[in-house]
Homo-oligomer: A and B are copies of this chain.
């Protein structure tokens, strides 16, 4: 077979690192940026508000004109116009003058306060002011909300509706985000059929293709399920070549050793197999190769094993490309019951998280119900045979 390149998990991760695949940045319209990861800090290109604006409906005035006003001796100001929201203020307010103003409208030159509609009386072209207004009453000064040049969003950050709204409020049409890796997903195995096909004796419906495709989408990547490659050279080569149109290819293995060797030999023919087998349980059948600079992952066929190796090997790469390396992906829980392992074997056990407990799932990685129940997995190091009930464990989440 010739491809026995069994390495430790750490060595496998170094191999992936050595591919030198860098996160890429692209510019997208803000209206399509929801959920994308910001690649560069954003500064305010303008003051917000961009001008001194009225925060109430009322009358713009010069505060100093009102200092002597009282309930019994109102000050009378001359009404010289009206400014509505959206108007360009062309009036300059002289001593003793006022203009009607609506909420959100820009203050005219000379004005520095706004009297609320409810607090004044209007008599003809005069407005009666019954109390003194301090400068800035009823006014939001330009730049007091956000000052031009201030950093308003720090990268990396997955953009929420509040972030896209903020970008819009600052006048940004576009924003620089990490490019989503485009991943081809292929299932392999003569026994695997697609939903909609008739269930022949000996065949089972695909689970890994859908699982990996949608797991990548949940993470924020773009995934394309190319269907199923049969266990023959031509079918596998054809699918793999189709997959190489994308940034990365993930094959989920046929169940048997023969298919894995076939996959390995086709990758070797087109490029290079760097890893064939990782010294963890499950992970022996895992293949890491590279063709035309693009990483190819061959994952085990059993659903839980497939997902565990995806989480250990592929997800960290995808998260790095998506700008999300910093996200914490594990939680500390207490083991719900004792677990036996085999000394000398580094094992990753699927667990379900229930409140503060991690409940080991012992149905076997071939069972679909294990896959469905598991929230993540725990590591049992080579040197450990027994993990005790109540022991603190780190759960790596899918």
Cβ of A106: which chain B residues have Cβ within 8 Å of it?
A: 201-202
Identical copies of this chain, number: 2
Chain B positions within 8 Å of A398 at CB level: 162
Residue A48 interfacial (CB < 8 Å): yes
Residues on B with C-beta less than 8 A from A264 are none
Distance between Cα atoms of A196 and B172 in the complex (Å): 7
| Most chain B Cβ neighbours within 10 Å, of A160, A168, A225 | A168
Contacts of A46 in B (CB 8 A): 199
Query: Residues of B contacting A366 with CB < 8 Å?
Result: 55, 140, 145
A166 touches B (CB below 8 Å): yes
Query: Are B34 and A161 in contact, CB atoms less than 8 angstroms apart?
Result: no
Verify if A88 is at the interface (C-beta below 8 Å from B).
yes
Q: Quick one: CB contact mask for A165-183 with B, threshold 8 Å, 1 for yes? A: 1111111110000000000
Other-chain contact of A86, B166, B189, B199 (Cβ < 8 Å): B189
Contact at B161–A217, with CB atoms within 8 Å? yes
> Nearest chain-B residue to A192 (Cβ)?
B86
Given the complex of chains A and B, what is the CA–CA distance between A261 and B31 in angstroms? 30
Taken together as a complex, chains A and B put the C-alpha atoms of A205 and B161 apart, in Å, by 16
Write out the residue numbers on chain B whose beta carbons fall within 8 Å of the beta carbon of A394.
Answer: none
Are A88 and B34 touching (Cβ within 8 A)? no
Per-position 1/0 for A257-291, Cβ under 8 A of B: 11100000000000000000000000000000000
Task: For the complex, give the distance between the alpha carbons of A172 and B206 in Å.
Answer: 10
B367 touches A255 (CB 8 A): no
* Contacting residues, chain B, for A257 (C-beta < 8 A): 57, 102
Answer yes or no: A49 CB below 8 A from chain B CBs: yes
By a CB distance below 8 angstroms, the chain B residues around A231 are: 84-86
